[in-house]
Amino acid sequence: MNRPTVGEPVRAAKLIEAQDMAAKLFAEISDRRMVRAGIGERALSDEIHDLAAAMFGVTGHWHKRIVRSGSNTLETFRGNPPDRRLTEDDVVFLDFGPIFEEWEADFGRTYVLGDDPRKLELLDRLPEVWRAGREFFRSEPQVTGEQLYDFVVATSRDAGWDFGGVIAGHLVGEFPHEKIDGEDIESYVAPGSTRPMRRKDRAGNECHWILEVHLVDRNRGFGGFYEELLDLP
């Protein structure tokens, strides 16, 4: 896909703008109490897709739309668990990658239905672990994807949770998502990603990253997810 070359300040601003719109979408999801007992995961995904189209004209997402509840929240991104209906005492997470005017967002949040203390604790621990990962990234100019992954896994365990993901983030940019080669581990925050994260991509642009945290309690059979831009603003 050919597009005019844009400078780094514009690229950064567009990615932040896309995330801001994703955050507004998720705020509307909360305000409308769309995450509710009785609805199926696929039906909720379709409702959110329609809301994104109505609010921002979004018609495409660069990755599959994910709504996971209950035991399905233990699954990684690549999993395809059967559709499940939300219950009164569920944990639910959303992971959406809406495309706003050819710029990608990637945003994930967790919701708790009911008042289970362990599940409510999850809501606190997810952003705490995410912020710790961001501070580690900021403090280590030459940090690699592997080093950040190892830090996030250790921090999750210190917080009393297992880390449920095989990665802890990835590159993000313009759509289509040509900056990520699915077979190139250097595109991910993951074991084996040994190049410094602060670098240029193959097109000569600054690399920008998403940090994602997937905490799970395997004994209780649930988990949660939290995801947004790592290096911007």
For every residue of 115-170, DSSP letters joined together read --HHHHHHHHHHHHHHHHHHHHHHH-TT-BHHHHHHHHHHHHHHTT-EE--S-SEE
Mean local confidence (pLDDT), 154-163: 98
Q: What is the CATH number of the domain that holds 189?
A: 3.90.230.10
pLDDT at 33: 97
Residue of 162, 175, 202, 173 lying closest to 186 (CA atoms): 202
Mean local confidence (pLDDT), 18-40: 95
Position 1 in a domain? no
Q: For residue 157, how many other CB atoms are within 10 A of its CB?
A: 13
pLDDT at 67: 96
Find the range with the poorest average confidence among 14-18, 93-97, 136-140, 175-179.
175-179
Predicted model pTM: 0.91
Residue of 201, 205, 165 lying closest to 181 (CA atoms): 201
Return the top range by mean pLDDT from 2-16, 96-110, 207-221. 207-221
Residue of 107, 223, 90 lying closest to 165 (CA atoms): 223
pLDDT at 61: 56
Are the CB atoms for 227 and 212 separated by under 8 Å? yes
For residue 153, give both structure tokens. 């896994």
Find the range with the poorest average confidence among 10-19, 174-183, 197-206.
174-183
For the chain, percent of residues with pLDDT exceeding 90:
75
Residue 5: pLDDT above 70? no
For 12, the 3-state DSSP assignment is helix
Range of the domain at 187: 8-229
Position 3 in a domain? no
Instruction: Round the average pLDDT of the chain to a whole number and report it.
Output: 90
Position 122 in a domain? yes
The shares of helix, strand and coil residues in the chain, as percent rounded to the nearest 5, are 35, 25, 40
Mean local confidence (pLDDT), 204-227: 96
Residue 184: pLDDT above 80? yes
Return the top range by mean pLDDT from 16-30, 43-57, 127-141. 127-141
Position 110 in a domain? yes
Count of the separate structural domains present in the chain: 1
Q: Report which residue type is found at 47.
A: E
Phi then psi for 202, rounded to 5 degrees? -65, -20
Position 201 in a domain? yes
